[in-house]
Copies of this chain bind each other. A is one copy, B any other.
Protein backbone atom coordinates (compact mmCIF):
# COMPACT_ATOMS: atom_id res chain seq x y z
CA UNK A 1 0.00 0.00 0.00
CA UNK A 2 2.33 2.59 1.22
CA UNK A 3 1.23 5.44 -0.99
CA UNK A 4 -0.26 5.41 -4.41
CA UNK A 5 2.06 8.03 -5.57
CA UNK A 6 -0.35 10.88 -6.04
CA UNK A 7 1.22 14.26 -6.53
CA UNK A 8 -1.50 15.54 -4.37
CA UNK A 9 -0.13 14.45 -1.03
CA UNK A 10 -2.48 12.78 1.33
CA UNK A 11 -4.40 13.69 4.04
CA UNK A 12 -6.28 15.73 6.41
CA UNK A 13 -9.45 17.58 5.88
CA UNK A 14 -8.23 20.44 3.78
CA UNK A 15 -5.05 18.79 2.55
CA UNK A 16 -2.09 18.26 4.74
CA UNK A 17 -0.74 21.70 4.31
CA UNK A 18 -0.84 24.54 6.74
CA UNK A 19 -4.20 24.52 8.37
CA UNK A 20 -3.85 26.80 11.30
CA UNK A 21 -0.35 27.60 12.40
CA UNK A 22 -1.67 29.76 15.16
CA UNK A 23 -0.90 33.41 15.14
CA UNK A 24 1.78 32.99 12.60
CA UNK A 25 2.38 35.27 9.69
CA UNK A 26 0.22 38.18 10.69
CA UNK A 27 -0.02 38.31 14.44
CA UNK A 28 -1.46 41.78 14.33
CA UNK A 29 -4.59 40.70 12.50
CA UNK A 30 -4.67 37.07 13.53
CA UNK A 31 -4.35 37.45 17.28
CA UNK A 32 -4.62 41.07 18.27
CA UNK A 33 -5.11 40.45 21.94
CA UNK A 34 -2.22 38.04 22.26
CA UNK A 35 0.18 40.37 20.52
CA UNK A 36 -1.12 43.24 22.63
CA UNK A 37 -0.20 41.45 25.80
CA UNK A 38 3.28 40.98 24.43
CA UNK A 39 3.42 44.62 23.42
CA UNK A 40 2.71 45.69 26.93
CA UNK A 41 4.58 43.25 29.14
CA UNK A 42 7.30 41.48 27.22
CA UNK A 43 11.01 41.52 27.72
CA UNK A 44 13.22 41.19 24.63
CA UNK A 45 16.24 38.95 24.38
CA UNK A 46 18.75 37.97 21.73
CA UNK A 47 20.33 34.57 21.03
CA UNK A 48 23.26 33.57 18.84
CA UNK A 49 22.98 30.71 16.36
CA UNK A 50 23.02 27.39 18.18
CA UNK A 51 22.32 28.84 21.60
CA UNK A 52 19.85 27.10 23.87
CA UNK A 53 16.76 29.10 24.70
CA UNK A 54 15.01 26.76 27.05
CA UNK A 55 15.67 23.25 28.11
CA UNK A 56 13.58 20.13 28.49
CA UNK A 57 12.57 19.57 32.08
CA UNK A 58 13.18 23.09 33.37
CA UNK A 59 10.24 24.93 34.92
CA UNK A 60 7.97 26.46 32.29
CA UNK A 61 7.80 30.01 33.53
CA UNK A 62 7.50 32.13 30.42
CA UNK A 63 5.66 32.36 27.11
CA UNK A 64 7.50 33.39 23.94
CA UNK A 65 7.11 35.15 20.63
CA UNK A 66 9.75 35.19 17.90
CA UNK A 67 10.58 38.72 16.79
CA UNK A 68 13.14 37.63 14.20
CA UNK A 69 15.05 34.50 13.24
CA UNK A 70 14.09 30.85 13.57
CA UNK A 71 13.83 28.60 16.61
CA UNK A 72 13.82 24.81 16.62
CA UNK A 73 11.78 22.90 19.19
CA UNK A 74 13.10 19.40 19.73
CA UNK A 75 13.86 16.52 22.03
CA UNK A 76 16.85 14.25 22.26
CA UNK A 77 16.63 10.52 22.70
CA UNK A 78 18.93 8.57 24.96
CA UNK A 79 21.07 7.45 22.07
CA UNK A 80 21.67 10.96 20.87
CA UNK A 81 19.05 11.20 18.17
CA UNK A 82 17.18 14.43 17.80
CA UNK A 83 13.59 14.98 16.77
CA UNK A 84 12.64 18.49 15.75
CA UNK A 85 8.93 19.00 16.24
CA UNK A 86 8.68 22.42 14.85
CA UNK A 87 10.55 25.39 13.45
CA UNK A 88 9.17 28.56 14.97
CA UNK A 89 9.46 31.53 12.69
CA UNK A 90 9.14 35.29 12.90
CA UNK A 91 5.84 36.27 14.47
CA UNK A 92 5.05 32.79 15.80
CA UNK A 93 4.46 32.04 19.45
CA UNK A 94 5.69 29.09 21.46
CA UNK A 95 5.69 27.71 24.97
CA UNK A 96 1.96 28.03 25.58
CA UNK A 97 1.08 24.37 25.84
CA UNK A 98 3.48 23.38 28.56
CA UNK A 99 2.30 22.98 32.04
CA UNK A 100 4.86 22.89 34.80
CA UNK A 101 7.97 21.80 32.95
CA UNK A 102 9.07 22.28 29.39
CA UNK A 103 8.61 19.07 27.53
CA UNK A 104 10.94 20.12 24.75
CA UNK A 105 14.18 22.00 24.19
CA UNK A 106 14.32 25.21 22.17
CA UNK A 107 17.44 26.35 20.35
CA UNK A 108 18.27 29.22 18.04
CA UNK A 109 18.76 28.07 14.44
CA UNK A 110 20.23 31.37 13.34
CA UNK A 111 20.44 34.70 15.10
CA UNK A 112 17.20 35.03 17.02
CA UNK A 113 15.40 37.82 18.83
CA UNK A 114 12.61 36.81 21.17
CA UNK A 115 10.21 38.54 23.42
CA UNK A 116 8.74 36.77 26.40
CA UNK A 117 6.49 37.28 29.40
CA UNK A 118 6.06 35.39 32.67
CA UNK A 119 3.17 32.96 32.55
CA UNK A 120 1.74 34.49 35.72
CA UNK A 121 1.03 37.68 33.82
CA UNK A 122 -0.54 35.64 31.14
CA UNK A 123 -2.78 33.85 33.58
CA UNK A 124 -3.91 37.19 34.95
CA UNK A 125 -4.59 38.69 31.53
CA UNK A 126 -6.33 35.59 30.28
CA UNK A 127 -8.57 35.57 33.34
CA UNK A 128 -9.41 39.22 32.74
CA UNK A 129 -10.01 39.00 29.01
CA UNK A 130 -11.81 35.98 27.64
CA UNK A 131 -10.53 36.73 24.15
CA UNK A 132 -6.99 36.05 25.29
CA UNK A 133 -7.96 32.76 26.86
CA UNK A 134 -9.64 31.76 23.61
CA UNK A 135 -6.63 32.83 21.63
CA UNK A 136 -4.38 30.65 23.74
CA UNK A 137 -6.69 27.69 23.50
CA UNK A 138 -6.87 28.01 19.76
CA UNK A 139 -3.13 28.25 19.65
CA UNK A 140 -2.68 25.05 21.64
CA UNK A 141 -5.31 23.29 19.59
CA UNK A 142 -3.45 24.28 16.43
CA UNK A 143 -0.20 22.99 17.85
CA UNK A 144 -1.90 19.65 18.41
CA UNK A 145 -3.30 19.55 14.91
CA UNK A 146 0.08 20.42 13.43
CA UNK A 147 1.69 17.62 15.38
CA UNK A 148 -0.93 15.21 14.12
CA UNK A 149 -0.25 16.23 10.56
CA UNK A 150 3.44 15.71 11.10
CA UNK A 151 2.71 12.26 12.46
CA UNK A 152 0.69 11.33 9.40
CA UNK A 153 3.49 12.69 7.25
CA UNK A 154 5.99 10.44 9.00
CA UNK A 155 3.76 7.42 8.61
CA UNK A 156 2.85 7.64 4.97
CA UNK A 157 5.08 9.92 2.93
CA UNK A 158 8.31 8.89 1.35
CA UNK A 159 11.46 10.97 1.27
CA UNK A 160 10.73 13.35 -1.61
CA UNK A 161 7.13 13.79 -0.57
CA UNK A 162 8.19 14.68 2.94
CA UNK A 163 10.61 17.30 1.70
CA UNK A 164 8.03 18.74 -0.65
CA UNK A 165 5.58 18.94 2.22
CA UNK A 166 8.14 20.75 4.32
CA UNK A 167 9.17 23.16 1.58
CA UNK A 168 5.57 23.94 0.78
CA UNK A 169 4.85 24.68 4.39
CA UNK A 170 7.89 26.90 4.66
CA UNK A 171 6.99 28.78 1.51
CA UNK A 172 3.33 29.23 2.33
CA UNK A 173 1.19 30.03 -0.64
CA UNK A 174 3.47 32.55 -2.30
CA UNK A 175 5.94 31.60 -4.97
CA UNK A 176 8.77 33.83 -3.84
CA UNK A 177 12.33 32.83 -3.29
CA UNK A 178 12.54 31.30 0.16
CA UNK A 179 15.64 31.20 2.29
CA UNK A 180 16.25 28.24 4.59
CA UNK A 181 18.12 29.09 7.77
CA UNK A 182 18.52 25.48 8.86
CA UNK A 183 20.93 22.75 7.75
CA UNK A 184 20.14 19.50 5.96
CA UNK A 185 20.67 17.77 9.27
CA UNK A 186 18.01 19.97 10.88
CA UNK A 187 15.56 19.23 8.09
CA UNK A 188 16.33 15.54 8.35
CA UNK A 189 15.70 15.55 12.09
CA UNK A 190 12.39 17.24 11.42
CA UNK A 191 11.26 14.90 8.66
CA UNK A 192 12.66 11.68 10.07
CA UNK A 193 15.28 11.28 7.34
CA UNK A 194 19.06 11.14 7.21
CA UNK A 195 20.83 14.26 5.98
CA UNK A 196 22.02 12.38 2.91
CA UNK A 197 18.47 11.43 2.00
CA UNK A 198 17.37 15.03 2.42
CA UNK A 199 20.13 16.16 0.11
CA UNK A 200 19.20 13.52 -2.44
CA UNK A 201 15.55 14.53 -2.21
CA UNK A 202 16.49 18.13 -2.95
CA UNK A 203 18.34 17.03 -6.05
CA UNK A 204 15.50 14.79 -7.17
CA UNK A 205 12.89 17.53 -6.77
CA UNK A 206 15.07 19.93 -8.70
CA UNK A 207 15.58 17.38 -11.46
CA UNK A 208 11.82 16.79 -11.55
CA UNK A 209 11.21 20.51 -11.96
CA UNK A 210 9.23 20.81 -8.77
CA UNK A 211 11.57 23.29 -7.19
CA UNK A 212 14.20 25.73 -8.29
CA UNK A 213 17.41 25.76 -6.25
CA UNK A 214 19.75 28.70 -5.81
CA UNK A 215 22.74 27.41 -3.95
CA UNK A 216 21.76 25.17 -1.11
CA UNK A 217 19.76 27.60 1.00
CA UNK A 218 17.46 29.43 -1.41
CA UNK A 219 14.62 27.84 -3.35
CA UNK A 220 11.37 28.55 -5.12
CA UNK A 221 8.36 26.27 -5.48
CA UNK A 222 7.36 25.51 -9.06
CA UNK A 223 3.82 24.66 -10.02
CA UNK A 224 3.39 21.02 -10.98
CA UNK A 225 0.73 21.91 -13.59
CA UNK A 226 2.81 23.60 -16.29
CA UNK A 227 0.99 26.71 -15.07
CA UNK A 228 4.06 28.89 -14.84
CA UNK A 229 4.77 31.48 -12.23
CA UNK A 230 6.23 34.46 -14.02
CA UNK A 231 6.54 34.41 -17.79
CA UNK A 232 3.16 35.12 -19.42
Q: Which residues of A contact B (CB under 8 A)?
A: 1-6, 8-13, 15-16, 55-57, 75-83, 85, 97-99, 101, 103-104, 137-138, 140-141, 143-145, 147-148, 150-152, 154-156, 185, 192, 194-195
A142–chain B nearest beta-carbon distance, Å: 8
> Which chain B positions have C-beta within 8 A of A151?
83, 85, 147, 150-151, 154
A6–chain B nearest beta-carbon distance, Å: 5
Q: Contact: B80 with A3, CB < 8 Å?
A: yes
A231–chain B nearest beta-carbon distance, Å: 32
> Which chain B positions have C-beta within 8 A of A154?
151, 154-155, 192
Q: Contact: B10 with A141, CB < 8 Å?
A: no
- A9-B56, A151-B150 known; A4 vs B103 contact (CB < 8 Å): no
> Which chain B positions have C-beta within 8 A of A78?
6, 8, 10-12, 15
A163–chain B nearest beta-carbon distance, Å: 15
- A56-B13, A82-B6, A194-B2 known; A77 vs B141 contact (CB < 8 Å): no
Q: Contact: A3 with B79, CB < 8 Å?
A: yes
